[in-house]
Amino acid sequence: MAPTGWFIAFEGVDGSGKSTQIDLLSMKLRDQGIDHVLEREPSDGSIGRFIRHYAEAGDRYLSPESEALLFTADRFEHSKRISQMLDQGTTVICDRYYHSTLAYQGAAGVDVGWLRDLQKFALKPDLALLLDVDPEKSLMRVSGRTLTVFENRSYLMRVRDIYLGFAKAGEMRLVDTARPVDEVEAEVQRLVEGLMGLKL
Ligand code: TYD
């Protein structure tokens, strides 16, 4: 076990299967007695709650720059809590982190260089996994519920392209989720084992 916990971020367009894979990984870690917590962004803090409310309201009335600042302010507060947990030796698995702001607000037209500068304070995940799927398929998976303001096909195609650029540059590890869940699970497990240097 590392002296501090590991920081693992899961990223991907809506409906990419993040939650399922996070739950499966969490069960594996629990079986191995690895102390960990599941976090998400927008966080459960006050700014995160505001953002969720905004995302569900149906009208994208804020400029993407303001959205970026809100997501980043939420992350600033959240990162302090994440650091404390890592320092205590707890592994943190976060459903979305700063790559979401780069990809989603970048896809809404915000300068990605400016977005990167805003994230300078943020912790760098030890492993950033990109769960990749064609938005056409992923939107079918989430179509059973009302879509948020961030969920429409052409927008998510641009989000995906930005994410794929990060994977190409080696910043994220690409995991193709257009496959049976157990195959995706095995690949996620392999990448986490590589990070932790142990067999799960
Ligand atoms: P959420 O309901 O948590 O979606 P999911 O379960 O798919 O993660 O809502 C988060 C939405 O906010 C999601 O559509 C992505 C978007 N988002 C951004 O646009 N920028 C960000 O920085 C973050 C963290 C999320």
- Helix (H) or strand (E) run with residue 64 in it: helix 64-87
Does 162 contact ligand 1 (Cβ within 6 A)? Answer: no
Give the integer Cα–Cα distance in Å for 157 and 143: 16
Does 42 contact ligand 1 (Cβ within 6 A)? Answer: yes
In this prediction, residues 121-134 reach a mean pLDDT of 97
Taking the centre of ligand 1 as the mean of its atom positions, its distance from the CA of residue 35, in whole angstroms, is 26
Taking the centre of ligand 1 as the mean of its atom positions, its distance from the CA of residue 198, in whole angstroms, is 31
**In the CATH scheme, what is the code of domain 7-196?**
3.40.50.300
Q: Per residue in 93-122, pLDDT tens?
A: 999 999 999 999 999 999 999 999 999 999
Q: Which two tokens stand for residue 155?
A: 């927008």
Domain edges within the chain: 7-196
Taking the centre of ligand 1 as the mean of its atom positions, its distance from the CA of residue 104, in whole angstroms, is 8
**Does residue 190 register a pLDDT over 70?**
yes
- Poorest-pLDDT segment among 3-7, 59-63, 142-146, 155-159: 142-146
Task: Output the pLDDT for position 165.
Answer: 98
Q: Which two tokens stand for residue 88?
A: 């205590």
Give the integer Cα–Cα distance in Å for 165 and 92: 25
Q: Which of 72, 100, 146 to mutate to test the pocket of ligand 1 (most atoms within 8 A of CB)?
A: 100
Q: Which atom of ligand 1 is nearest to the CA of 95?
A: 8
Task: Output the pLDDT for position 7.
Answer: 98
Taking the centre of ligand 1 as the mean of its atom positions, its distance from the CA of residue 148, in whole angstroms, is 9
Does 16 contact ligand 1 (Cβ within 6 A)? Answer: no
Taking the centre of ligand 1 as the mean of its atom positions, its distance from the CA of residue 174, in whole angstroms, is 19
Give the integer Cα–Cα distance in Å for 180 and 185: 9
Beta strands in the chain (DSSP E): 7-11, 36-40, 91-95, 127-132, 173-176
Give the integer Cα–Cα distance in Å for 142 and 146: 8
Q: Per residue in 138-171, pLDDT tens?
A: 888 887 788 887 888 999 999 999 999 999 999 9
Kindly give, in sequence order, each residue whose CB lies less than 8 Å from that of residue 7, ignoring residues fewer than 6 positions away. Answer: 82, 86, 91, 92, 94, 123, 124, 125, 126, 127
